[in-house]
Amino acid sequence: MKKTIFFTILLTIGVFISSFTKDKKVVTSTINSTTAIALVPTEKEVSPIIKSNIPFVGKSFNGFKEALAFRESGGRYDIVSSFGYLGKYQFGASTLKTFNIHDMQHFLENPELQEDAFMALCSLNKWILRKEIENKVGKKINGIEITESGILASAHLAGSGNIKEYLRTNGKYRFTDAFGSSMQHYLKKFGGYDTSIVEANKNPKIL
């Protein structure tokens, strides 16, 4: 009788300990899972990183200038080409002097100045080419639909005089830069962007 009671007590204690151990494992597992989930960044934490490293590539003016900059320099502000063109948008020194920029090293080290210079050049080219934009946009030349953004990109590549001549001759006049890029390629590649934010200005100033 005593042995039976003794074994019954031992069995009860064993079941109790076993039950307690299982509960403890469950709690430990839950804590570990929660900790792992907490280490994953939230959407708010990730979004600023993505936005700061990836340029907007839509059809807005921002998309236009970033796409053009990537084609010109890979988007680098500090680059100087083998032909001496400078910065993100590969400006020539003579063009920069038009906007009263004479210190080329300062220009390379100043992203804001480069962005302002690009906007100023777009404004000037839009004024110079205002008649061509009015008369040619929407038409096709050599199978390419002419758009304002395509004209401005081509003017950036070849100068307003060359794209003016190309449009005047309906594509018979050709121009290729030292790297082999053509106005016709730029007309197609950079066509269809919204450049309405650019104001035509005969004498744009950089403040």
Average predicted confidence (pLDDT) for the chain:
81
Count of beta carbons in the 10 Å neighbourhood of residue 171: 17
- Can you give the pLDDT at residue 12? 55
Tens-place pLDDT, residues 19-77: 444 443 333 333 333 323 333 333 333 333 334 444 556 899 999 999 999 999 999 99
Q: Is pLDDT larger for residue 11 or for residue 21?
A: 11
Contact present, 123 and 198 (Cβ < 8 Å): yes
Question: What is the pTM for the complete model shown?
Answer: 0.72
Sign of CA dihedral 87, 93, 171, 198: positive
CA dist., res. 57 & res. 127, Å (int): 26
Quick check: 114 pLDDT over 50?
yes
Q: How confident is the model over 182-187, as a mean pLDDT?
A: 94
